[in-house]
Amino acid sequence: MRGSSLLPSVVFMLHLDPALYFDHSATTPPRPEVIEAMQVAMRESWGNPSSLHGWGERATMAMERARQQVADLLNCEPESLLFTSGGTESNNLALFGVAQGHRTPQHLIVSSIEHSSVENAARQLQAQGWQVTRLPVNHFGVVDPEQLKSALQSNTVLVSILHGQNEVGSLQPIAELGRLCREAGVLFHSDCVQTVGRIPLDLSELPIDMLSLSGHKLYGPQGVGALYLRPGVELRPLLRGGGQERRLRSGTQGIPGIVGLGVAAALAAEELAAETERLRSLQRQLGQALQGVPGLIPTGPQDQQQRLPHHLSYCIDRIPGNVLVTAMSRQGIGISAGSACSSGQLIPSRILLAMGYSEAEALGAIRLSLGKATTAAAVEYVARCLRGLLLSGSGSGSLGELRTQPVLVGSFRASGPEA
C-alpha cells in the first residue's frame, strides 16, 4: 500500500497569529520557558531514572523537581502524584484502578456530561456488570449535590465528576460533592483537566481522593499528565512492567515532558490570580460583543463565577458547528465545534442533549476559549468576524457555500470536519 495516498494534500498557511487562536480548551501552546526546559532536559537529563548511576540520578532529580512543582500548584505532597501520559490515562487509571480492586461489580456514579475518557470507561464497567448511575444536570450543565446524595447506595464505591466541563464551561460544586462522598465513605475522583492552572485548587482543603490533570491544558507539552492520589487510596495498576511511579504506572518516565509539565505548573502558580482576572475581563468583553446575534444561543452558566474563566460556548440553531469552525479558520481564527475530542463526527453534542437542548441546537455547538496570547483587540476582531458570518445571509461567500467545500484543518486540507 502506498502510504502517500493516505496523506491529505498540504496547504501551507502564510501566517497563524497566536492572538487569533481561540481554542485553548483543546490545547495550549507550550510556553517558551517550557520548551527551553525540555531542551535542557533532553541534553542533560536523558538518563533512565530507574538507573542507579549518575546519569540516572540526574534524570531522577529533574523528575522529582517537576513533581514538587506540580505539588506546589495543587498544595499537596509530591509523593501523592503519579505521572501519566495525560488526562485520559489518569481518568482510566482512577476508574479501572478502583474497579479492579473489587472481586464483584459494585456501583459507580458519574455525571451525564463527563469527558469521553470517563464516560467510555463507565460504559465498559457497565458491560462488565457494574451498576452505573449518571447524574442529570440542569440547563446550565451543573450537577445538583442533592441528586448525588440521593444516588449514593450501600455498594457505591466511587463517584467521578469532572470539575470544569470542556464543552460548555460549567464548574461543578466539587467541594460539596466531595464532602458528601467523604461523609458516605465513598471515593471521589474529579477530572480537573480544564481547571488545573486556570483556577485555584487546594488539595489540602478540598475533599478529593483522586484528581486528573494534563500538561497541554496549562501551556505544557502534550503527552504528559498526572493523577493525584490521596494518601491511603489504593489502586490496581493498568500497565504491567517495571513498577515505576509507585508500582501503579509502569513504563520509563518521559523526563523532558515531565520537566515541561513541572515548569508549566510553576509558571501557572506564579501567575494564576492575575491571569484569571485578565481572562475574565476578556471573557466579559467577548460575551458582550456577541450579544444579540440572531440564532446565537449562549450555553453553560452565564455567571462568570460558575464557569471556566477563559471559556465561552454557544449553539446555533441553523448552522452545524463544524461549518462555522471552517469559515472562521479561513479568516485565520481558531475556534472549536464543541469538544475537540469528538468534533470530527457530525453528531449532536451529547453534552448539550443532556442539558436539554434539541438535536438541531446540539449540532450547532461552538466553543471559544481564550489564552495568554489573547488581547482585547483580538477579541474585538474575532467577535466582528463571527457576527459578520452569522449575519451574512445566503449570498455569495456565505456560510451556505461551505457545506460542500473541503474543510481546512489547521495547516492542511481534509475531506471532513475538524478532528
Do 124 and 212 sit in the same domain of this protein? yes
Do 24 and 37 sit in the same domain of this protein? no
pLDDT score of 411: 32
Do 82 and 13 sit in the same domain of this protein? no
Amino acid of residue 273: A
Measured CA to CA, the distance from residue 104 to residue 237 in angstroms comes to: 18
Q: What is the 3-state secondary structure (H, E, C) of the chain?
A: CCHHHHCCCECCCCCCCHHHECECCCCCCCCHHHHHHHHHHHHHCCCCCCCCCHHHHHHHHHHHHHHHHHHHHHCCCHHHEEEECCHHHHHHHHHHHHHCCCCCCCEEEEECCCCHHHHHHHHHHHHCCCEEEEECCCCCCCCCHHHHHHHCCCCEEEEECCCECCCCCEECCHHHHHHHHHHHCCEEEEECCCCECCECCCCCCCCCCEEEEEHHHCCCCCCCEEEEECCCCCCCCCCCCCCCCCCCCCCCCCHHHHHHHHHHHHHHHHHHHHHHHHHHHHHHHHHHHCCCCCCEEECCCCCHHHECCCEEEEEECCCCHHHHHHHHHCCCCECECCCCCCCCCCCCCHHHHHCCCCHHHHHCEEEEECCCCCCHHHHHHHHHHHHHHHCCCCCCCCHHHHCCCCEEECCEEECCCCC
Query: What are residue 204's phi and psi, to 5 degrees?
Result: -75, -15
Last residue of a domain, one of 235, 250, 267: 267
Last residue of a domain, one of 267, 302, 320: 267
Do 291 and 245 sit in the same domain of this protein? no
Counting the structural domains of the chain, the total is 2
Do 296 and 226 sit in the same domain of this protein? no
Residues labelled catalytic: 341
Do 156 and 24 sit in the same domain of this protein? no
Cell of 129: 456488570
CB 33, CB 259: distance < 8 Å: no
pLDDT score of 65: 98
Query: What are residue 151's phi and psi, to 5 degrees?
Result: -85, -20
Do 36 and 26 sit in the same domain of this protein? no
Q: Exposure of 241 by Cβ count < 10 A (0-12 exposed, 13-18 middle, 19+ buried)?
A: exposed
Do 406 and 315 sit in the same domain of this protein? yes
pLDDT score of 348: 87
CB 318, CB 351: distance < 8 Å: no
Measured CA to CA, the distance from residue 89 to residue 249 in angstroms comes to: 10
Do 173 and 192 sit in the same domain of this protein? yes
For the chain, 419 residues long, give each residue's pLDDT as a single digit of tens: 444 444 444 444 557 899 999 999 999 999 999 999 999 999 999 999 999 999 999 999 999 999 999 999 999 999 999 999 999 999 999 999 999 999 999 999 999 999 999 999 999 999 999 999 999 999 999 999 999 999 999 999 999 999 999 999 999 999 999 999 999 999 999 999 999 999 999 999 999 999 999 999 999 999 999 999 999 999 999 999 999 999 999 999 999 999 999 999 999 999 999 999 999 999 999 999 999 998 899 999 999 999 999 999 999 877 889 899 999 999 999 999 964 444 445 688 999 999 999 988 999 999 999 999 999 999 999 999 999 999 885 333 455 554 444 333 333 222 222 22
Measured CA to CA, the distance from residue 383 to residue 376 in angstroms comes to: 11
Do 102 and 238 sit in the same domain of this protein? yes
Do 179 and 69 sit in the same domain of this protein? yes
Measured CA to CA, the distance from residue 5 to residue 3 in angstroms comes to: 5
Inside any domain, residue 1: no
CB 314, CB 366: distance < 8 Å: yes
Query: What are residue 252's phi and psi, to 5 degrees?
Result: -60, 125
Task: Calculate helix-pair angle for 116-127, 87-99, nearest 10 degrees.
Answer: 30
Q: What is the pLDDT of residues 251-275, one digit of tens each?
A: 999 999 999 999 999 999 999 999 9
pLDDT score of 4: 46
Domain that holds residue 181: 32-267
Measured CA to CA, the distance from residue 62 to residue 169 in angstroms comes to: 34
Inside any domain, residue 2: no
Do 252 and 134 sit in the same domain of this protein? yes
Q: What is the CATH number of the domain that holds 65?
A: 3.40.640.10
pLDDT score of 341: 46
Percent of the chain clearing pLDDT 70 (strictly above): 88
pLDDT score of 319: 86
Last residue of a domain, one of 202, 234, 267: 267
